[in-house]
């Protein structure tokens, strides 16, 4: 089957065409991503109103590019998928309404996909990873540990109670005047820094659950920075290194706990899968390899372009759902909040609630 996927939940306008064969294997025919980073850079974060307007302006063109690159016409598609949440409401309306229009005009099935489900299933597109596996999703908007048991069958093992990890990196970078997005800039500074110079907390460490809390760490960093201001270049590097080390330690502790919960509730995972922009961080990546090894499994990391937001993951999640007959009607609603454990395997033709 051939599926068009549309992604507009945050600050990427993206469309892609993906195929899924009867043996479950996937292939990406096109994957076009337009980043709005430069439009939000001055504000140190995503501005919802700017994002929504940029999606309206760009989406038709991005879809046309994805269709042309895949050498495909709307008539030859088997279905249209759009991310219907969670995300910023303006962008969700733009993407989902566009998908509905294409589905209606060309009489194709519509799949209103959960963005987190799409991240969760990407490893099956790129690596054919079998169920069940443990997913560590860490981006600017999300930090979650999930048991992925099947399509539409997710067990939330843990998540952040306040900031996402990427958000904490972004706020740290903003505080230190480094720019946006902050993750890669903090990582670069940390290379020249002393990770032991500042004693920052490791929030939630040692707890039996698999939850994260990042806002206290951010505050502790701000207090340390204020104590020694004005900051030299070395101070900035040391603060970045100390911050990153605290995050690495927290990830290690929380994921160990998450994998223990996975084994207790589900059994042995076929893999530890990482997704989201934060997984690009080399120090974090290293610790993920170590945790997977300790747990007797392997780390699966889809290529960076597919770990961050893109249309191919939405198209693939749509294909996985369509293969099971899980489609949505034209009254599917955009859902700014949509926890993954509320994604259900709906009866065909019924609303995906």
* Alpha carbons 265 and 277: distance in angstroms, whole number: 28
What secondary structure letter does DSSP report for 5? E
Residue 184 binds what, of ligand KG4, Zn ion, none (CB under 5 to 8 Å, by partner type)?
A: ligand KG4
Contact flags string 311-340 toward Zn ion, x per CB under 5 A = ------------------------------
Identity of the residue, 253 or 309, whose beta carbon is nearer to ligand KG4 in the bound complex:
309
Identity of the residue, 182 or 334, whose beta carbon is nearer to ligand KG4 in the bound complex:
182
Identity of the residue, 102 or 136, whose beta carbon is nearer to ligand KG4 in the bound complex:
136
CB of 308 to ligand KG4, least distance (A): 3
Segment lying near Zn ion (by CB under 5 A), choices 204-212, 231-239, 282-290, 305-313: 305-313
Q: Tokens 């076009």, residue?
A: 32
Based on the shown chain and the rule CB under 5 A, indicate whether residue 11 belongs to the binding site for Zn ion: no
Q: Which residues of 205-223 are buried (b: 16+ CB within 10 A; e: fewer)?
A: eeeeebbbbbeebbebbee
Could you give phi then psi for residue 208, rounded to 5 degrees? -80, -20
Beta bridge partners of 111: 81
Residue 278 binds what, of ligand KG4, Zn ion, none (CB under 5 to 8 Å, by partner type)?
A: ligand KG4
Q: Give residues in contact with ligand KG4 (CB under 6 A).
A: 10, 139-141, 166-167, 169-170, 181-184, 187, 276-278, 280-281, 308-309
CB of 82 to Zn ion, least distance (A): 14
Residue 169 binds what, of Zn ion, ligand KG4, none (CB under 5 to 8 Å, by partner type)?
A: ligand KG4
CB of 41 to ligand KG4, least distance (A): 12
Count of beta carbons in the 10 Å neighbourhood of residue 268: 12
Q: Single out the residue of 309, 318, 320, 338 in contact with Zn ion (rule: CB under 5 A).
A: 309
Identity of the residue, 67 or 123, whose beta carbon is nearer to ligand KG4 in the bound complex:
123
Measured CA to CA in angstroms, residue 288 lies from 67, 210, 249 at distances of 36, 15, 11
As to burial, measured by CB atoms within 10 angstroms (0-12 exposed, 13-18 middle, 19+ buried), residue 330 is exposed
Please name which of 160, 163, 129 lies closest in space to residue 145, comparing C-alpha atoms.
160
Please name which of 306, 308, 333, 307 lies closest in space to residue 110, comparing C-alpha atoms.
333
Q: Which residues bind Zn ion (CB under 5 A)?
A: 139, 309
């Amino acid at each position: 089957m051939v599926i068009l996927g549309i992604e507009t939940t945050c600050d990427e306008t993206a469309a892609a065409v993906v195929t899924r064969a009867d043996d479950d294997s996937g292939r990406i025919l096109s994957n076009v991503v337009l980043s709005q980073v430069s439009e939000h850079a001055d504000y140190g974060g995503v501005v919802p109103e700017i994002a929504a307007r940029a999606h309206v302006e760009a989406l038709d063109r991005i879809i046309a590019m994805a269709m042309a690159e895949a050498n495909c016409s709307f008539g030859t598609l088997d279905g249209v998928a759009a991310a219907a949440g969670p995300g910023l409401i303006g962008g969700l309306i733009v993407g989902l309404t566009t998908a509905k229009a294409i589905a209606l005009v060309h009489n194709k099935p519509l799949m209103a996909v959960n963005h987190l489900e799409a991240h969760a299933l990407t490893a099956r597109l790129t690596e054919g990873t079998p169920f069940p596996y443990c997913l560590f999703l860490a981006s600017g908007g999300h930090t979650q540990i999930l048991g992925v048991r099947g399509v539409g069958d997710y067990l939330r093992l843990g998540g952040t109670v306040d900031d996402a990890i990427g958000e904490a990196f972004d706020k740290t970078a903003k505080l230190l005047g480094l720019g946006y997005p902050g993750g890669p800039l903090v990582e670069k500074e940390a290379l020249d820094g002393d990770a032991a110079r500042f004693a920052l907390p490791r929030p939630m460490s040692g707890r039996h659950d698999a939850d994260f809390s990042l806002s206290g760490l951010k505050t502790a960093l701000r207090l340390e920075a204020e104590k020694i201001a004005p900051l030299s270049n070395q101070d900035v590097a040391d603060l970045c290194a100390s911050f990153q080390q605290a995050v690495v330690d927290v990830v290690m502790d929380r994921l160990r706990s998450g994998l223990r919960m996975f084994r207790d509730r589900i059994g042995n995972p076929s893999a530890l899968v990482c997704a989201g922009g934060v997984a690009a961080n080399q120090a974090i990546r290293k610790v993920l390899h170590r945790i997977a090894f300790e747990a007797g499994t392997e780390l699966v990391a889809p290529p960076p372009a597919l770990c961050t937001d893109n249309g191919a993951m939405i198209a693939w999640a749509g294909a996985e759902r369509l293969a099971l007959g899980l489609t949505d009607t034209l009254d599917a609603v955009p859902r700014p909040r949509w926890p993954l454990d509320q994604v259900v395997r709906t009866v065909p033709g019924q609303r995906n609630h």
